[in-house]
Homo-oligomer: A and B are copies of this chain.
Amino acid sequence: MRLRSIPLSQIQVVDPFWSRYQRALVELGLPAQFRQIVETGRLRNFERAAAGERGDFDGYRFNDSDVYKWIEACAYVLAKYPSETLQRDVLHAIDLIAEAQMPDGYLNTYFQLMHPEMRWRNLIAMHEMYCAGHLIEAGVAVLECLGDRKLLDVGIKFADHIASIFGPGKRRGACGHQEIELALIKLSDATGDPKYRELARWMIEDRGQRPSYFEKEFADTEAIALCPAAADLLLHKGQYSGEYLQDHLPIREHSDVVGHAVRAMYFYIAAAQLEPDAELRDALSRTWKSVTERRMYITGGIGPSGDNEGFTTDYDLPNLNAYAETCAAVGLTLWGSALLNLTGNSEYADVMERAIYNGALAGISLDTTHYFYANPLESRGGNARVPWFGCACCPPNIARLIGSIGRYAASISEEGLWIHIPFGMELDLNFSGVPVRVQIDSGYPFESKVVVSVEPASPIEFEIRFRIPDWADNVETEIPGLEAEAEYSDGYICARKLWKPGDVAKFDIEMRPRWISADPRVRDNLGRSAMTLGPLVYAAEETDLGFAPQLFAADTAAEPEVIQSSKLEGASMIRVAGERIFETFPDQLYAETQALEYEEAVATLIPYYAWCNRGSTSMQVWIRT
């Protein structure tokens, strides 16, 4: 990779916006998730497996993964906000997981309790390696953030078990739901052992080849029957095209993003981290463009359809029924980050930031205890955040993104420090052996001014690359001692100079309310605009308007007014002028158009991520103009 993420131990997030979320997760969100994990039997599955029981399993076959993701999220936030009770729960869960592991390294409570003889026979639907991947990710996080390697050792043992069965010269196969690939790469990074990365590479390149190893499984009807939904689809309806799980083509031939959105994202995240050659980079670039230029909501949400939890066709982006799963936006964030580190091109940071602050963050309530699985861009009052889901992938996923948010804000490279998202952080870096402490202060995402204070142990030359967001026409800079005009590269300001103790660089990113239109091929948004401010997409909610926002039409020529508010944890609101239709109408369903009554009206918009925090209500992102 050209850029490297900065280890979380060297990043301290001091930004009020994210610190508030992280603290809430420690105090409220993650303890509440643990109660759900306990009450839904997810922990009991491990207890039973540890006790060698048989025949009883609670919930979905992939429920182990929720425990792993919860541990990962806890590890991130506990490193910063210690909590005895939460740490005790985490360590207890780790103990149970370790006890449940079989002597040969296998670990999956569903199979251990229900079908021990059926291991690895239904890769297409049974998620064994998917769960293994989240185990490994959690193990790496616990070691990195809490200094405890017990869970990582469990993960390594499982990974070695997988590597003893699958790989070149052994069995073909990978998981129907990608995840193991990116986890194996993480494991190589954590252990220094390249064999895991090579196994991931082989899995990634082998997927989509013909004959497909997934298709071979159809003959094993006993194993396929373990998942009735898949059996119905694969055997009875014969509808397997491979697209759902990206098995339609070898990755090097991918162009349009297809199928299940989270599977696709996890797949491409791993591929981007493989040090891809030119051909694979081209495939990733084509597929990235297909997502971000034709199949992505303005929020960074992706995967419009609930039918396949995934992608449909170009420009098909319905608002009311948008699926736009929280996990898919988290996945797009991680893929953007991986491509950003691969290339140093700000276009990936633009999308990453869009997904973080909108499509992903909307998936969690302000107090971090209630969640959306789907993230529509319009509501007619029927949506509500809930504390948990039967398939509970999203709650711990958004929690671990928030817990590790610093990872996506900055990178380092040979050139120096890259600031992708300039929220408040303290960074402990080292350039050419010289320790450098960098502090970033800002009111991001609501305020435009960013102050970067640099404290090298001794003067040292390096570059600070500061991203110019796609939503800013201009970034004003004030960098002491930088004689020459600032240089620009791939969307970054390149401030190369000899940095001395006490140096302070100032950036002011032009931030104004902007009415945005969609490409006219997005039919759903014709005649509509969405309001944005900086990285944030705004929404109209009935709570603020006093009437359903669908009745409102904005005057995009009028000057929008940014309002500082104490509501919604201090989010900036935006007041826009327009007119509303009244709900008075003749006593019939259809009448001549002149029967409608209009009145001038003002609508106060809130950030999309904050919607549905004051009860179920009507909401709209794309406002009629």
**Cβ of A292: which chain B residues have Cβ within 8 Å of it?**
589
- Contact, CB under 8 Å: A593 / B516: yes
**Cβ of A294: which chain B residues have Cβ within 8 Å of it?**
589
A491 to chain B minimum Cβ distance, whole angstroms, is 13
- Contact, CB under 8 Å: B624 / A517: no
**Cβ of A518: which chain B residues have Cβ within 8 Å of it?**
589-590
Given A526-B624, A624-B526, A590-B517 contact (CB < 8 Å)? yes
**Cβ of A517: which chain B residues have Cβ within 8 Å of it?**
585, 590-593, 595-596
Q: Is A625 an interface residue (CB 8 A)?
A: yes
Q: Is A74 an interface residue (CB 8 A)?
A: no
Query: A64-72, A169-177, A547-555: which lies at the B interface?
Result: A547-555
- Contact, CB under 8 Å: A593 / B529: yes
Copies in the complex: 2
- Contact, CB under 8 Å: B550 / A298: no
A463 to chain B minimum Cβ distance, whole angstroms, is 28
Q: Is A519 an interface residue (CB 8 A)?
A: yes
- Contact, CB under 8 Å: A624 / B527: yes
CA distance A518 to B589 in the complex (A): 6
CA distance A318 to B378 in the complex (A): 13
- Contact, CB under 8 Å: B551 / A519: no
- Contact, CB under 8 Å: A515 / B589: no
Q: Is A583 an interface residue (CB 8 A)?
A: yes
A440 to chain B minimum Cβ distance, whole angstroms, is 27
**Cβ of A520: which chain B residues have Cβ within 8 Å of it?**
551, 581-583, 585, 596
Q: Which residue of B lies closest to A528 (CB)?
A: B527
- Contact, CB under 8 Å: B593 / A380: no
Within 8 A of B (CB), among A512-571: 514-523, 526-527, 529-530, 548, 550-551, 553, 556
Q: Is A296 an interface residue (CB 8 A)?
A: yes
CA distance A370 to B589 in the complex (A): 31
**Cβ of A239: which chain B residues have Cβ within 8 Å of it?**
none
- Contact, CB under 8 Å: B298 / A519: no
CA distance A530 to B591 in the complex (A): 10
Q: Is A588 an interface residue (CB 8 A)?
A: yes
- Contact, CB under 8 Å: A588 / B293: yes
**Cβ of A583: which chain B residues have Cβ within 8 Å of it?**
519-521
- Contact, CB under 8 Å: A592 / B515: yes
Which among A380, A581, A593 has the highest number of chain B CB atoms within 10 Å?
A593
Q: Which residue of B lies closest to A582 (CB)?
A: B520
**Cβ of A587: which chain B residues have Cβ within 8 Å of it?**
293
Which among A515, A523, A529 has the highest number of chain B CB atoms within 10 Å?
A523
In the assembled complex, 23 residue pairs joining A and B whose CB atoms fall closer than 8 Å, in A order, are A293-B588, A514-B592, A515-B593, A516-B590, A516-B592, A516-B593, A517-B590, A517-B592, A517-B593, A517-B595, A518-B589, A518-B590, A520-B582, A520-B596, A521-B585, A523-B548, A526-B550, A526-B581, A527-B527, A527-B553, A529-B593, A530-B590, A556-B593
* 10 pairs of A and B residues whose beta carbons are closest in the complex: A515-B593, A517-B593, A523-B550, A527-B624, A519-B585, A529-B593, A520-B583, A520-B581, A516-B590, A298-B590
